[in-house]
Chains A and B, each alone.
Chain A
Amino acid sequence: MPFSPLQRRAATILLAVAGFFALDGLVFRTGLYTSILEPESSTGTFEQILRREQHAQSRYGSNLIVTLGDSRFAYYPRVANQHAAENGFFFRQAGVAGTDARTWYYMLRDLDPTRRRYRAVVLGVDDYDDEDGAYDIGDDLATLHYCAARLRYSDILPFTRSFDSSHAQWEAFRGSLLKGLVFQRDILAFASHPVKRIEYVQLVNRGFEEWTYGYVDSKKNVVGLKIDWTNMTATMPPGNEAVMDQLTRFVLYRSNPQTGHHAAFRRKWFGRLLDYYRGTPTKVVFVRLPRGPIPRPDYLVHKLSSSIREFASRPGVTLVDEHAFDSLETPELFKDAFHLNDAGCSRLSQMMAREVSRLVR
């Protein structure tokens, strides 16, 4: 039966929509655009680390232990690997500053598609108990920007549904469907200086492994910091305004209402991670990281649950002793309110390598 002109036009419009998705797929889902992303952007950093770790897999063989965490999980793999001859394990760091369990899931899925590339996956967390903070981690759209390049068509709905508010769900939906929307700023910057960008990407690609493996953190410390938890005030020697700002914004607060959102988020995303490795030889190890130069006292908040401790009952899941790194929680070993300094990183590297190797062996 011949089609009417109107039906043919309608088919042409559908063809245009199909063509658009094909073009979008070609540019943003094949690695074509990802290869020229600004290396210091959220997606660019994520992709650089992913590529670096994929290369490392072939170089280091089968005794790899990969760590994932945010910027607080700062340690030196080169220091941790000094004892590789004794314990037989090589540590690699696939953590990305500012990320959470949702991002780590997408990182690991592409880093370890066979689920057999790592002897252990170490996940660094700030607390084994679940404390609801000031903002809803479930709605953190930064995840979209970190793992945009990793999202597949089949991820669109589950990824969208993993956000709590309808606004975040809508952004996650459109961003995972049309990645060009997420990369817009990057594309505009690329359009402004394309040659410079390509040269910079090539430079970073050449030296990323070397720079990051040999990275040395700041030697600054926060000696002199005093916190009065009763009045929620802190004092520091002059010249530490940035640290004071961090403390005021993120440390010196009365506890937030405990809603259970954080626990739900952890159960969901750590749960997916553990399910991913269920039945495989890869162990999953949780590490409670040093919390700060002067950690918040436990009495400030009554934590209702401990999802990580619940996970410990699963086969293949291990928790490093919660207090294993308490000795690092001093002003001498921190460069600000959250992050270890050079000496702190070195100490953590040695201690963590020892503890994890012992548990994995």
Chain B
Amino acid sequence: MLFNTTQFFVFLAVVLALFYLSPRRPRKYILLAASYYFYASWNAKFIALLLTLTVIDYVAGIWLERVPPGPRRKAVLIFSLAANLGFLGFFKYYNFLAGNLALAMGRPAHSFFLQIVLPLGISFHTFQSMSYVIDVYRGMQPAVRNPVDYALFICFFPQLVAGPIVRARDFFRDLWGWKQPSADDVARGVFLISLGLTKKMAFADQFAQVANAYFANVAGNPGALAAWSGVFAFALQIYFDFSGYTDMAIGMAKLLGFHFPINFRRPYLAASITDFWRRWHISLSSWLRDYLYIPLGGNRGGHLKTYRNLMLTMLLGGLWHGASWNFLIWGGYQGALLSIERLLRGEHAVDEEWNWSYPLRAIVTFVLACIGWVFFRAADLKQSIYVVGQMFHGSAGKLLLEPWHFELATLALILAIGEEKREWFERAIRAPAPIYACALTAMLFCLEIFAVVDAAIPFIYFQF
């Protein structure tokens, strides 16, 4: 049940109706049932896995609170983390490791492969669950007593399959102190759902058609122009796809009285890679910072250790996306860029000021991000190397983008700058009724004339 389908909107309408027509007490049960139904609509078998992880971390949370500090407490934490990482490792990384082991042993890569179907959203709910257990261990979060509350935290349908990764304290603050959404929340929720749908269907899916066509047949589209077209299209696809999904998730949560953190802040306007990572997939970046980079020592142990920590964090961030050398290289590339930037600019991250050099720095950052996306998108390492080679050493080739693709991209850039400098979207949400209505009308009309409706292009991050 994709967010951009009629089926999902019927589901959402039913959930909203049941939620608000019922008394307050059973509402969380309605949300829990709806969330499991939503998950089961993909693959009912994995409900058992979701429940198992839920039970393990729920029990671990209570134990961690009861057991006094010491080795036993640590053992509970390790058990919980091992269970989470064990499941994640098995489903996500087994075949990758088995393939490489087989190659190292001189046997065919598929020798030890298993037919494994990746459970939907496992990377997201595992990280969310782990953050809860670690927070309880650190004493930053009281253990949740009510199993229904905890189960809902793990499987809440708006963010179950592709985030944003919500911290326990934020979720339970909303759940335990639930307030009827205000008129402003409703306006914001509807606006964000419309915006997300527009980003996904009118922008991401249009660029996806170019990117998919290119990466499906890179040899048939030789040349630098073709390579840059494919990569540029993918860069826009992944942004609009993922941020569109997130906007919808945040908007739906708002309609249900929950407040999720923002996950994207116009990353392609970033003027450095450090700035890019402050704007891209913020909930994952901050998770990696809080639960990996800082525990590794962060920037406290001198330059070399900082670079090592950055590299390790980004390598693991790359691996989080998927088990392949491509993701590892993508993570390493991001870590290397962050380290080089830190080396060049010193320890103190600069606040990016809009001055004459800003556009140039933003373009350089965007190009660097695009090079990284090659590894993210290509089928394998061989294809990645070929595409990068074509981007910089290929003949001119053929431009795969139509003029209207550039018009869409320009429109998006203008809107992004308007939002960055003048908070256009925020103003539209708070504006008097006619302006708010015009903004919604414009998005609906944009959907009508640009949305790809005949090809169900899944959200990219659903595979993670």
Contact of A181 with B453 at beta-carbon distance under 8 Å, contacts A6-B183, A16-B436 already known: yes
A191 to B446, CA, bound (A): 13
Contact of A188 with B445 at beta-carbon distance under 8 Å, contacts A9-B183, A15-B433 already known: no
B204 to chain A, nearest CB (A): 15
Stretch at the interface among B25-33, B320-328, B400-408: B400-408
On whether the beta carbons of B402 and A13 are closer than 8 Å, the reply is no
Chain A residues lying within 8 Å of B190, measured Cβ to Cβ, are 13
B206 to chain A, nearest CB (A): 8
Chain A residues lying within 8 Å of B52, measured Cβ to Cβ, are none
On whether the beta carbons of A180 and B448 are closer than 8 Å, the reply is yes
Number of interface residues of B (CB under 8 A): 25
On whether the beta carbons of A23 and B404 are closer than 8 Å, the reply is no
On whether the beta carbons of A16 and B403 are closer than 8 Å, the reply is no
Chain B residues lying within 8 Å of A10, measured Cβ to Cβ, are 186
On whether the beta carbons of A16 and B449 are closer than 8 Å, the reply is no
A318 to chain B, nearest CB (A): 43
CB-contact partner of A180 in B184, B440, B445, under 8 A: B445
Chain A residues lying within 8 Å of B407, measured Cβ to Cβ, are 191-192
Closest to A27 in B: B445
A152 to B450, CA, bound (A): 22
B438 within 8 A of A: yes
A20 to B438, CA, bound (A): 9
On whether the beta carbons of B433 and A12 are closer than 8 Å, the reply is yes
A24 within 8 A of B: yes
On whether the beta carbons of B445 and A23 are closer than 8 Å, the reply is yes
List which B402-421 residues lie within 8 A (CB) of chain A: 402-404, 407
Closest to B449 in A: A180
A49 to B451, CA, bound (A): 30
Chain A residues lying within 8 Å of B184, measured Cβ to Cβ, are 5, 9
Chain A residues lying within 8 Å of B436, measured Cβ to Cβ, are 12, 16
Closest to B436 in A: A12
Chain B residues lying within 8 Å of A5, measured Cβ to Cβ, are 182-184
A178 to B453, CA, bound (A): 12
CB-contact partner of A13 in B182, B404, B434, B440, under 8 A: B440
Chain B residues lying within 8 Å of A4, measured Cβ to Cβ, are 183
On whether the beta carbons of A6 and B402 are closer than 8 Å, the reply is no
**Interface membership of chain A positions 11-48, coded 1 if the CB is closer than 8 angstroms to chain B and 0 otherwise:** 11101110110011000000000000000000000000
B187 within 8 A of A: yes
A184 to B451, CA, bound (A): 8
A4 to B190, CA, bound (A): 18
B437 within 8 A of A: yes
A20 to B439, CA, bound (A): 10
* Chain A residues in the interface with B (C-beta under 8 A): 4-6, 8-13, 15-17, 19-20, 23-24, 174, 178, 180-181, 183-184, 187-189, 191-193
11 contacts between A and B (CB under 8 A): A5-B183, A8-B433, A9-B183, A9-B187, A12-B433, A12-B437, A13-B187, A13-B440, A24-B445, A191-B407, A193-B403
